[in-house]
Structure 1
Amino acid sequence: MHNIDRETIQKLTQEIYKDLLTYRRQLHQNPELSFEENETARYISQILRNHDIPIREGIAGTGIIATIQGERGTGRTIALRADMDALPIREATGLPFASQNNGVMHACGHDAHSASLLGTGIILNRLKKQWGGTILLIFQPGEEKFPGGASLILKEGALNHPRPDLIIGQHVLPEMASGNVGFKKGMYMASGDEVYITVNGKGGHAAMPHTLNDTILAASQVIVNLQQIVSRIVPANIPTVLSFGHIEGKGATNIIPEEVAIAGTLRTMNEDWRSRIKDKIRHIAETTAATYGCRAEVDIKDGYPMVLNNEEVTARAQELATEYLGKAHVETMETRMTAEDFGFYSQEFPATFYRFGVRQNDGETGALHTPRFNLNEKSLETSCGLMTWVALNMLQP
């Protein structure tokens, strides 16, 4: 057990707030794409070394895992995760610390996630004589790009020694007021797979459709028929989305092409049905194309599994958030059909993944993954302090 009260954590968080701003702004100004976070990793590693926190580097390429050992008795091993990568977006915020890497931007808040975790680690390390157990700080690469840095960290066995008893992650939410947090027990975020279908046939002159296979018509019907998977095949109580955002047939007004390419995304909240839906997609695409004398080749690239928030861990984290912030600042979230590679961790360990609000009080916050996303930096106090408080109080079963 520890004897640290929330006022102590709040005070320490306030004391390092200027450091949190420095970390966040340095990361924001120097964003790097997925699996290219070399300078980001060097910067984070140096801060951890400056605070005498032991680290392992080169995890899944550029990742870092820091270990803080409590010195007061025994306790659980808890992993805290932040992602480091940015997006291929040209920033348009006009901030004095806007991205200096043209066409690359921290438009999903990963700079804030990493800065917050650095602060959490610094506070926990400062107090390590007062608590028992082990804290792992995961600075993860490549959340935004398949196969996802989380999957590679697990594949490498980087979390096997020591193995966490549970893992906690957090993420910015621009629609939520700064100072608030949100939790959702059970299924929270969807799996995310990429679906690629190529329809092949005999092309030709559009004025003589009887002499060819109409690949455009076949591809269109494939898309229409695949919508039946959600509306008529998957149980209505399993949230599922199958959407196609790309169709390309390089013909002309009077040319039916030999090939049409289709690409889309599959999202669902049930891992068993996730596998079964893929078989349905292949069957429907192939048989529909065959009806028009065409062939369909289906390639489904496995993405991220669903984020499953452990009921007990999430309930406890929400209870601790209420203690730390007050009931008025803790919200219950809805399920989201967006995906997160934190899902890999949640399939492996008891986990909770929650949101912290970053909405501006005045001015534009912008949406995630847009050039004008601009989070409220005051939220760093909430994200850093709360994760510290939750981790400390979960070290004992």
Structure 2
Amino acid sequence: MSAITLQNIKHLTRELIDEIITFRRWLHQHPELSFEEQNTAKYIASVLGQNSINFREGIAGTGIIASIKGEAGEGRTLALRADIDALPIQENSGLAFSSKNDGVMHACGHDAHTASLLGTGIMLNKLKKSWGGTILLIFQPGEEKHPGGASILLQEGALENPRPDYIIGQHVLPEMESGKLGFRKGICMASADEIYITIKGKGGHAAIPHTLNDTVLASAQLIVSLQQVVSRIVPATIPIVLSFGKIEAKGATNIIPEKVEIAGTLRAMDEKWRAIIKEKIKDITITTALTYGCSAEIDIKDGYPMVLNNDELTEKVRELAAQYVGRDNVEEMELRMTAEDFGFYTHRFPATFYRFGVKQPNVNTGSLHSPQFNLNEDSLETSAGAMTWIAINLLSD
């Protein structure tokens, strides 16, 4: 174990918390969409530079990877990751530091993730004489947009020299009380694939459908048929979700359009059934279109893989977290059908992805991806401090 005590970390975190909150509020006021995070990157770089932390820019476009070398000897390499992008949402939180960028909001807590990691990096740098090894701070762009900044970062070889022995990420959870942390071994989040379908046929006057190919009816039947794939083909014990959130038919009350566009998502926690369902979607789409005299084009974009937490690493991190926040403040997380491009890392390195609670006391925190989302900033003291404690002790183990 490290010579640095838990109380050392907690004291240092308390000294730094106002600065971490300042980071978070600046980031919250200046959100930028996926792969457009130029000003966000400049801000991160300025904070790192002011604290004499070395870093590389231009990772996956707008990302940054900082590196801190411990001075207590050689050792493992640990990567800590935060995502930096925001969402195309008009903020309605009522905060004094609400978004200044119209139609863009940090509604998924990435401002908190980034601020917390900056705080952790500053503390690790201050304490570097007391630990050995290397810590990488990954400020990753584009988590919210296909193909995901993580996949691009890995394709670029940004984590090959040095190559991490472990990688850790954390994410806000508005349903969990501030001060609590949540963990789960193995699969914890679903894969996510994007489905785009176009149904084409002969359009025309809606009063004489017998002379046309009813693309709207074909599309409606297709959506109903595809919903039966999950309920009637997949075993009930396998978590899979197939949902369609967009259907666009540019017709009118009396016009059947020549094409209808449909878009949806497939979420899965089993690679075998993920592949089977994608083939079934293609087959049913083609045959349903033909039934109505139409044709179909289908494009299934392979998205984020499942988040697969390494059992041994997760147990170690959970134990260190319990030391920091107390066992009563460590919870077992349920499976989530949401997705995260952190999954790419988990299939390349031993990794764990955990949650930190941000629920507001006596105030509506709002849900993730909502215009009202507003996290409890007290949680940043827990997230930054706990990750610092976890990082130092993992390298010292």
Bin the TM-score by the shorter chain.
over 0.9
Structure 2 counterpart of 1:50: 50
Q: Residue 224 in 1 paired to residue 227 in 2?
A: no
Q: Residue 296 in 1 paired to residue 301 in 2?
A: no
Contact 1:193 1:265 in 2 (8 A): yes
Contact 1:198 1:262 in 2 (8 A): yes
Structure 1 counterpart of 2:106: 106
Distance apart, 1:252 and its partner CA = 2.8
The residue type paired with residue 270 of structure 1 is D
CA distance in 2, matches of 1:320, 1:391: 9
Alignment of 1:170-181 (within 5 A): 170-181=170-181
Structure 2 counterpart of 1:12: 12
Distance apart, 1:193 and its partner CA = 1.3
Alignment of 1:24-103 (within 5 A): 24-103=24-103
Structure 1 counterpart of 2:315: 315
Distance apart, 1:245 and its partner CA = 1.3
Q: Which moved more, 1:294-303 or 1:229-238?
A: 229-238
Alignment of 1:124-203 (within 5 A): 124-203=124-203
Structure 2 counterpart of 1:379: 379
CA distance in 1, matches of 2:258, 2:39: 46
Structure 1 counterpart of 2:214: 214
Q: Residue 352 in 1 paired to residue 352 in 2?
A: yes
- Normalised by the size of structure 1, how large is the TM-score? 0.97
CA distance in 1, matches of 2:389, 2:366: 29
Structure 2 counterpart of 1:120: 120
The residue type paired with residue 258 of structure 1 is E
CA distance in 2, matches of 1:203, 1:93: 45
* 1:267 alignment partner, SS class: strand
- Normalised by the size of structure 2, how large is the TM-score? 0.97
Alignment of 1:359-378 (within 5 A): 359-378=359-378
* 2:261 alignment partner, SS class: strand
Distance apart, 1:334 and its partner CA = 0.5
Distance apart, 1:396 and its partner CA = 4.2
Deviations 1:266-319 (A, max 9, x none): 111123332332111111100111122111111112221111111111111111
RMSD: 1.3
The residue type paired with residue 375 of structure 1 is L
Report the CA distance shift for 1:102/1:209 in structure 2 as closer, same or farther (over 3 A).
Answer: closer
Q: Provide the aligned length of Structure 1 versus Structure 2.
A: 397
Contact 2:4 2:130 in 1 (8 A): yes
- The unaligned stretches of length 5 or more in structure 1 are none
The residue type paired with residue 265 of structure 2 is T
CA distance in 2, matches of 1:145, 1:117: 21
The residue type paired with residue 264 of structure 2 is G
Distance apart, 1:327 and its partner CA = 1.1
* 2:347 alignment partner, SS class: helix
Structure 2 counterpart of 1:265: 265
